Protein backbone atom coordinates (compact mmCIF):
# COMPACT_ATOMS: atom_id res chain seq x y z
CA UNK A 1 0.00 0.00 0.00
CA UNK A 2 0.58 4.48 0.38
CA UNK A 3 1.14 5.31 1.23
CA UNK A 4 3.50 8.26 1.18
CA UNK A 5 4.30 10.45 4.12
CA UNK A 6 1.33 12.22 5.69
CA UNK A 7 0.58 15.48 3.96
CA UNK A 8 1.05 17.98 6.75
CA UNK A 9 4.54 16.85 7.62
CA UNK A 10 5.82 16.16 4.15
CA UNK A 11 5.04 19.17 2.00
CA UNK A 12 5.50 22.91 2.00
CA UNK A 13 2.58 25.25 1.67
CA UNK A 14 -0.01 24.82 -1.04
CA UNK A 15 1.34 27.78 -3.03
CA UNK A 16 4.67 26.08 -3.67
CA UNK A 17 3.58 22.45 -3.99
CA UNK A 18 4.79 20.49 -6.98
CA UNK A 19 1.72 18.79 -8.49
CA UNK A 20 3.97 16.01 -9.84
CA UNK A 21 4.27 14.41 -6.40
CA UNK A 22 0.56 14.82 -5.65
CA UNK A 23 -0.28 13.21 -8.99
CA UNK A 24 2.11 10.33 -8.32
CA UNK A 25 0.67 9.74 -4.87
CA UNK A 26 -2.93 9.70 -6.05
CA UNK A 27 -2.22 7.36 -8.96
CA UNK A 28 -0.28 5.11 -6.60
CA UNK A 29 -3.05 4.98 -4.01
CA UNK A 30 -5.49 3.89 -6.69
CA UNK A 31 -3.22 0.91 -7.31
CA UNK A 32 -3.17 0.12 -3.60
CA UNK A 33 -6.95 0.30 -3.23
CA UNK A 34 -7.67 -1.63 -6.42
CA UNK A 35 -5.04 -4.21 -5.50
CA UNK A 36 -6.67 -4.85 -2.13
CA UNK A 37 -10.14 -5.04 -3.68
CA UNK A 38 -9.12 -7.80 -6.10
CA UNK A 39 -6.99 -9.67 -3.57
CA UNK A 40 -9.86 -11.99 -2.67
CA UNK A 41 -10.51 -12.71 -6.37
CA UNK A 42 -7.10 -14.18 -7.17
CA UNK A 43 -8.59 -17.50 -8.25
CA UNK A 44 -9.26 -15.62 -11.50
CA UNK A 45 -6.04 -15.65 -13.53
CA UNK A 46 -6.24 -12.01 -14.61
CA UNK A 47 -6.78 -10.91 -11.02
CA UNK A 48 -3.80 -12.93 -9.81
CA UNK A 49 -1.60 -11.48 -12.56
CA UNK A 50 -2.73 -7.91 -11.86
CA UNK A 51 -2.24 -8.40 -8.12
CA UNK A 52 1.26 -9.74 -8.64
CA UNK A 53 2.19 -6.92 -11.02
CA UNK A 54 0.90 -4.12 -8.82
CA UNK A 55 2.46 -5.51 -5.66
CA UNK A 56 5.92 -5.58 -7.20
CA UNK A 57 6.08 -1.78 -7.16
CA UNK A 58 3.09 -0.02 -5.60
CA UNK A 59 4.40 0.06 -2.00
CA UNK A 60 8.02 0.59 -3.13
CA UNK A 61 6.69 3.66 -4.94
CA UNK A 62 5.13 5.09 -1.78
CA UNK A 63 8.25 4.26 0.18
CA UNK A 64 10.56 5.99 -2.32
CA UNK A 65 8.38 9.10 -2.22
CA UNK A 66 8.29 8.95 1.58
CA UNK A 67 12.06 8.77 1.69
CA UNK A 68 12.44 11.68 -0.70
CA UNK A 69 10.03 13.80 1.33
CA UNK A 70 11.82 12.87 4.57
CA UNK A 71 15.25 14.19 3.58
CA UNK A 72 15.03 17.10 6.01
CA UNK A 73 13.99 15.05 9.01
CA UNK A 74 15.99 15.67 12.19
CA UNK A 75 15.51 14.97 15.87
CA UNK A 76 14.49 18.55 16.55
CA UNK A 77 11.48 19.05 18.82
CA UNK A 78 9.15 20.21 16.04
CA UNK A 79 9.94 17.26 13.76
CA UNK A 80 9.66 14.77 16.60
CA UNK A 81 6.21 16.09 17.53
CA UNK A 82 5.02 15.78 13.94
CA UNK A 83 6.38 12.24 13.82
CA UNK A 84 4.31 11.33 16.86
CA UNK A 85 1.10 13.07 15.77
CA UNK A 86 1.27 12.05 12.10
CA UNK A 87 2.41 8.44 12.46
CA UNK A 88 2.50 7.11 16.02
CA UNK A 89 -0.94 8.28 17.14
CA UNK A 90 -2.76 7.26 13.90
CA UNK A 91 -1.03 3.89 14.16
CA UNK A 92 -2.51 3.27 17.60
CA UNK A 93 -5.94 4.54 16.52
CA UNK A 94 -6.16 2.34 13.42
CA UNK A 95 -4.55 -0.68 15.03
CA UNK A 96 -7.43 -0.58 17.51
CA UNK A 97 -10.02 0.31 14.85
CA UNK A 98 -9.10 -2.61 12.59
CA UNK A 99 -9.46 -4.97 15.52
CA UNK A 100 -13.21 -4.24 15.65
CA UNK A 101 -14.16 -5.71 12.24
CA UNK A 102 -12.18 -8.83 13.14
CA UNK A 103 -14.20 -9.10 16.34
CA UNK A 104 -17.54 -8.55 14.57
CA UNK A 105 -16.93 -10.79 11.52
CA UNK A 106 -14.67 -13.49 12.94
CA UNK A 107 -15.28 -13.31 16.68
CA UNK A 108 -11.58 -12.74 17.23
CA UNK A 109 -10.15 -9.92 19.30
CA UNK A 110 -6.39 -9.81 19.09
CA UNK A 111 -4.68 -6.50 19.82
CA UNK A 112 -0.91 -6.13 19.81
CA UNK A 113 0.48 -2.67 19.30
CA UNK A 114 3.92 -4.10 18.49
CA UNK A 115 2.60 -6.51 15.85
CA UNK A 116 0.93 -4.41 13.12
CA UNK A 117 -2.26 -5.76 11.60
CA UNK A 118 -3.28 -5.40 7.97
CA UNK A 119 -2.56 -1.86 6.64
CA UNK A 120 -0.98 -0.45 9.77
CA UNK A 121 2.40 -2.06 9.09
CA UNK A 122 3.27 0.87 6.82
CA UNK A 123 2.85 3.39 9.63
CA UNK A 124 5.07 1.32 11.90
CA UNK A 125 7.74 0.86 9.25
CA UNK A 126 7.65 4.49 8.16
CA UNK A 127 8.03 5.58 11.78
CA UNK A 128 11.16 3.45 12.13
CA UNK A 129 12.56 4.46 8.74
CA UNK A 130 12.11 8.13 9.47
CA UNK A 131 13.81 7.78 12.85
CA UNK A 132 16.79 6.26 11.04
CA UNK A 133 17.04 9.09 8.49
CA UNK A 134 19.96 10.97 10.10
CA UNK A 135 21.96 7.74 10.20
CA UNK A 136 21.60 7.00 6.48
CA UNK A 137 22.50 10.56 5.57
CA UNK A 138 25.90 10.18 7.25
CA UNK A 139 26.92 6.89 5.63
CA UNK A 140 29.16 6.80 2.57
CA UNK A 141 27.32 3.93 0.84
CA UNK A 142 23.83 4.00 2.34
CA UNK A 143 22.05 2.17 -0.48
CA UNK A 144 24.58 -0.66 -0.54
CA UNK A 145 24.23 -1.13 3.21
CA UNK A 146 20.42 -0.97 3.00
CA UNK A 147 20.36 -3.63 0.27
CA UNK A 148 22.69 -5.83 2.32
CA UNK A 149 20.40 -5.52 5.35
CA UNK A 150 17.39 -6.31 3.18
CA UNK A 151 19.01 -9.49 1.85
CA UNK A 152 20.23 -10.52 5.30
CA UNK A 153 16.74 -10.08 6.72
CA UNK A 154 15.59 -12.88 4.45
CA UNK A 155 18.07 -15.30 5.99
CA UNK A 156 16.59 -14.99 9.48
CA UNK A 157 13.20 -15.82 10.95
CA UNK A 158 12.53 -12.33 12.28
CA UNK A 159 9.71 -11.70 14.77
CA UNK A 160 6.46 -10.12 13.59
CA UNK A 161 6.88 -7.35 16.15
CA UNK A 162 7.67 -3.94 14.60
CA UNK A 163 6.95 -5.51 11.20
CA UNK A 164 10.64 -6.41 11.05
CA UNK A 165 10.56 -8.43 7.82
CA UNK A 166 8.91 -5.65 5.85
CA UNK A 167 10.79 -2.86 7.62
CA UNK A 168 14.17 -4.34 6.72
CA UNK A 169 13.15 -5.98 3.46
CA UNK A 170 11.77 -2.77 1.93
CA UNK A 171 14.35 -0.49 3.55
CA UNK A 172 16.35 0.04 0.30
CA UNK A 173 13.43 1.88 -1.27
CA UNK A 174 13.30 4.37 1.60
CA UNK A 175 17.05 4.93 1.45
CA UNK A 176 16.83 5.33 -2.33
CA UNK A 177 14.25 8.06 -1.80
CA UNK A 178 16.58 9.81 0.65
CA UNK A 179 19.32 9.84 -1.99
CA UNK A 180 17.18 11.32 -4.75
CA UNK A 181 17.33 15.01 -5.65
CA UNK A 182 14.99 17.25 -7.69
CA UNK A 183 17.25 16.88 -10.75
CA UNK A 184 16.66 13.13 -10.75
CA UNK A 185 12.92 13.65 -11.06
CA UNK A 186 13.51 16.30 -13.71
CA UNK A 187 15.30 13.71 -15.84
CA UNK A 188 12.28 11.43 -15.64
CA UNK A 189 10.17 14.12 -17.29
CA UNK A 190 12.17 14.10 -20.53
CA UNK A 191 10.15 12.87 -23.49
CA UNK A 192 12.45 9.96 -24.32
CA UNK A 193 12.41 8.79 -20.71
CA UNK A 194 8.63 9.05 -20.54
CA UNK A 195 8.30 6.88 -23.66
CA UNK A 196 10.75 4.37 -22.19
CA UNK A 197 8.77 4.40 -18.95
CA UNK A 198 5.52 3.58 -20.75
CA UNK A 199 7.19 0.75 -22.65
CA UNK A 200 8.69 -0.59 -19.41
CA UNK A 201 5.32 -0.61 -17.65
CA UNK A 202 3.69 -2.48 -20.54
CA UNK A 203 6.57 -4.94 -20.71
CA UNK A 204 6.37 -5.44 -16.94
CA UNK A 205 2.67 -6.23 -17.19
CA UNK A 206 3.37 -8.77 -19.93
CA UNK A 207 6.07 -10.43 -17.83
CA UNK A 208 3.77 -10.52 -14.81
CA UNK A 209 1.06 -12.16 -16.91
CA UNK A 210 3.55 -14.80 -18.04
CA UNK A 211 5.17 -15.66 -14.69
CA UNK A 212 2.60 -14.85 -11.98
CA UNK A 213 1.46 -18.45 -11.62
CA UNK A 214 5.03 -19.67 -11.15
CA UNK A 215 6.19 -17.13 -8.52
CA UNK A 216 5.04 -17.49 -4.94
CA UNK A 217 2.97 -14.54 -3.75
CA UNK A 218 5.04 -14.18 -0.57
CA UNK A 219 7.95 -12.75 -2.57
CA UNK A 220 5.97 -9.60 -3.29
CA UNK A 221 4.70 -9.25 0.29
CA UNK A 222 8.09 -9.21 2.04
CA UNK A 223 6.66 -10.91 5.13
CA UNK A 224 8.67 -14.11 5.55
CA UNK A 225 12.20 -15.46 5.56
CA UNK A 226 13.60 -17.49 2.66
CA UNK A 227 13.20 -20.79 4.51
CA UNK A 228 9.53 -20.10 5.21
CA UNK A 229 8.96 -19.52 1.49
CA UNK A 230 10.72 -22.78 0.66
CA UNK A 231 14.12 -21.83 -0.76
CA UNK A 232 17.70 -21.78 0.49
CA UNK A 233 19.33 -18.49 1.44
CA UNK A 234 21.41 -18.15 -1.75
CA UNK A 235 18.39 -18.64 -4.00
CA UNK A 236 16.26 -16.44 -1.76
CA UNK A 237 18.83 -13.64 -1.75
CA UNK A 238 19.03 -13.68 -5.54
CA UNK A 239 15.25 -13.59 -5.84
CA UNK A 240 15.05 -10.73 -3.33
CA UNK A 241 17.71 -8.81 -5.21
CA UNK A 242 15.72 -9.32 -8.39
CA UNK A 243 12.54 -8.10 -6.70
CA UNK A 244 14.36 -4.99 -5.46
CA UNK A 245 15.66 -4.29 -8.97
CA UNK A 246 12.27 -4.92 -10.59
CA UNK A 247 10.55 -2.71 -8.03
CA UNK A 248 13.01 0.14 -8.54
CA UNK A 249 12.72 -0.12 -12.33
CA UNK A 250 8.92 -0.07 -12.29
CA UNK A 251 8.89 2.80 -9.77
CA UNK A 252 11.08 4.85 -12.12
CA UNK A 253 8.87 3.92 -15.08
CA UNK A 254 5.70 4.86 -13.19
CA UNK A 255 7.13 8.22 -12.15
CA UNK A 256 8.26 8.85 -15.72
CA UNK A 257 4.69 8.63 -17.05
CA UNK A 258 3.18 10.58 -14.16
CA UNK A 259 1.87 13.99 -15.32
CA UNK A 260 3.86 16.92 -14.00
CA UNK A 261 1.10 19.47 -14.63
CA UNK A 262 -1.82 20.15 -12.29
CA UNK A 263 -4.68 17.72 -12.90
CA UNK A 264 -8.17 17.13 -11.51
CA UNK A 265 -6.72 14.70 -8.99
CA UNK A 266 -3.73 16.75 -7.84
CA UNK A 267 -5.68 18.07 -4.86
CA UNK A 268 -6.73 14.54 -3.95
CA UNK A 269 -3.10 13.47 -3.99
CA UNK A 270 -2.51 15.74 -1.02
CA UNK A 271 -4.54 13.39 1.18
CA UNK A 272 -3.61 9.85 0.17
CA UNK A 273 -3.04 8.81 3.78
CA UNK A 274 -6.82 9.08 4.26
CA UNK A 275 -7.49 6.68 1.40
CA UNK A 276 -4.79 4.32 2.62
CA UNK A 277 -5.98 4.05 6.20
CA UNK A 278 -9.72 4.11 5.50
CA UNK A 279 -10.11 1.88 2.45
CA UNK A 280 -9.35 -1.28 4.41
CA UNK A 281 -12.75 -1.09 6.13
CA UNK A 282 -14.51 -0.97 2.75
CA UNK A 283 -12.39 -3.82 1.40
CA UNK A 284 -13.15 -6.10 4.33
CA UNK A 285 -16.88 -5.46 3.93
CA UNK A 286 -16.85 -5.79 0.15
CA UNK A 287 -15.11 -9.16 0.30
CA UNK A 288 -18.07 -10.55 2.25
CA UNK A 289 -20.48 -9.72 -0.57
CA UNK A 290 -18.61 -10.70 -3.73
CA UNK A 291 -20.88 -12.86 -5.84
CA UNK A 292 -20.17 -15.19 -8.76
CA UNK A 293 -20.18 -12.17 -11.06
CA UNK A 294 -17.00 -10.88 -9.44
CA UNK A 295 -15.10 -14.11 -10.11
CA UNK A 296 -14.92 -13.37 -13.84
CA UNK A 297 -12.56 -11.28 -15.94
CA UNK A 298 -15.20 -8.58 -16.36
CA UNK A 299 -16.04 -8.72 -12.68
CA UNK A 300 -12.39 -8.26 -11.74
CA UNK A 301 -12.16 -5.28 -14.10
CA UNK A 302 -15.26 -3.68 -12.56
CA UNK A 303 -13.96 -4.21 -9.02
CA UNK A 304 -10.54 -2.82 -9.94
CA UNK A 305 -12.00 0.28 -11.57
CA UNK A 306 -14.24 0.83 -8.56
CA UNK A 307 -11.03 1.11 -6.55
CA UNK A 308 -10.19 4.31 -8.39
CA UNK A 309 -13.51 5.82 -7.42
CA UNK A 310 -13.17 4.65 -3.84
CA UNK A 311 -9.69 6.16 -3.54
CA UNK A 312 -10.94 9.46 -4.94
CA UNK A 313 -13.90 9.62 -2.55
CA UNK A 314 -11.76 8.88 0.49
CA UNK A 315 -9.44 11.77 -0.40
CA UNK A 316 -12.24 14.34 -0.70
CA UNK A 317 -12.63 17.22 1.79
CA UNK A 318 -15.86 15.91 3.42
CA UNK A 319 -14.21 12.58 4.28
CA UNK A 320 -11.09 14.34 5.48
CA UNK A 321 -13.09 16.64 7.74
CA UNK A 322 -15.00 13.72 9.22
CA UNK A 323 -11.93 11.59 9.92
CA UNK A 324 -9.19 14.14 10.52
CA UNK A 325 -9.34 13.36 14.25
CA UNK A 326 -7.99 9.89 13.49
CA UNK A 327 -5.74 10.38 10.45
CA UNK A 328 -4.26 13.79 11.28
CA UNK A 329 -5.05 14.34 14.95
CA UNK A 330 -4.29 17.69 16.48
CA UNK A 331 -1.94 16.86 19.34
CA UNK A 332 -0.68 20.26 20.43
CA UNK A 333 -2.45 19.78 23.76
CA UNK A 334 -0.18 16.81 24.53
CA UNK A 335 3.11 18.66 24.11
CA UNK A 336 4.92 21.33 26.04
CA UNK A 337 5.49 24.66 24.34
CA UNK A 338 8.45 24.79 21.99
CA UNK A 339 11.31 26.81 23.30
CA UNK A 340 12.74 29.31 20.87
CA UNK A 341 16.55 29.42 20.71
CA UNK A 342 18.04 32.34 22.63
Distance CA 76, CA 61 (A): 27
Question: Which segments within the chain are labelled E, that is strand?
Answer: none
pLDDT at 289: 86
Of 114 and 267, more confident: 267
Per-residue model confidence as pLDDT tens digits over 48-101 = 999 999 999 999 999 999 999 998 887 676 777 888 888 999 999 999 898 876
pLDDT at 63: 95
pLDDT at 11: 38
Per-residue model confidence as pLDDT tens digits over 276-308 = 999 999 998 898 888 888 999 999 999 999 999
DSSP character for 258? S
Distance CA 129, CA 70 (A): 9
Cα distances from 290 to residues 87, 281, 284, in angstroms, run 33, 15, 11
Percentage of the chain beyond pLDDT 90 is 71
Per-residue model confidence as pLDDT tens digits over 245-260 = 999 999 999 999 999 9
Distance CA 38, CA 48 (A): 8
The residue among 33, 14, 10, 6 whose CA lies nearest residue 308 is 33
DSSP per-residue string spanning 144-211 = HHHHHHHHHHTTS---TGGGHHHHHHTHHHHHHHHH--HHHHHHHTSHHHHHHHHHHHHHHHHHHHHH
Cβ neighbours of residue 321 under 8 Å, at least 6 residues apart?
Answer: none
Cβ neighbours of residue 307 under 8 Å, at least 6 residues apart?
Answer: 30, 33, 34, 35, 36, 37, 38
- Domain definitions of the chain by residue range: 7-334
- Long-range CB contacts (within 8 A, 24+) of 286-290: 286/37, 287/40, 288/105, 290/40, 290/41
- pTM equals 0.89
pLDDT for 135 beyond 60: yes
Across 182-186, average pLDDT: 94
Distance CA 209, CA 250 (A): 15
CB–CB of 32/1 below 8 Å? yes
pLDDT at 143: 97
Per-residue model confidence as pLDDT tens digits over 15-44 = 468 899 999 999 999 999 999 999 999 999
Distance CA 307, CA 283 (A): 9
pLDDT at 340: 61
Amino acid sequence: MSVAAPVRMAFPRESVRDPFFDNAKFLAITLVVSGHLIEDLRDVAVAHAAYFYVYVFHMPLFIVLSGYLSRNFTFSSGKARKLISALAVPYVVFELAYALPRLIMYGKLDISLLDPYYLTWFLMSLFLWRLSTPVWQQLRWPLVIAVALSLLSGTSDLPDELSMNRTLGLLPFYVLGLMLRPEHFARLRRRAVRVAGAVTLVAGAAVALAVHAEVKTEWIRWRHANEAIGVDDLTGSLIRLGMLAAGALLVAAFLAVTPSRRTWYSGLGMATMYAYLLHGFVVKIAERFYGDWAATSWGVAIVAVSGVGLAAVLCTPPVRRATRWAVEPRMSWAFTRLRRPA
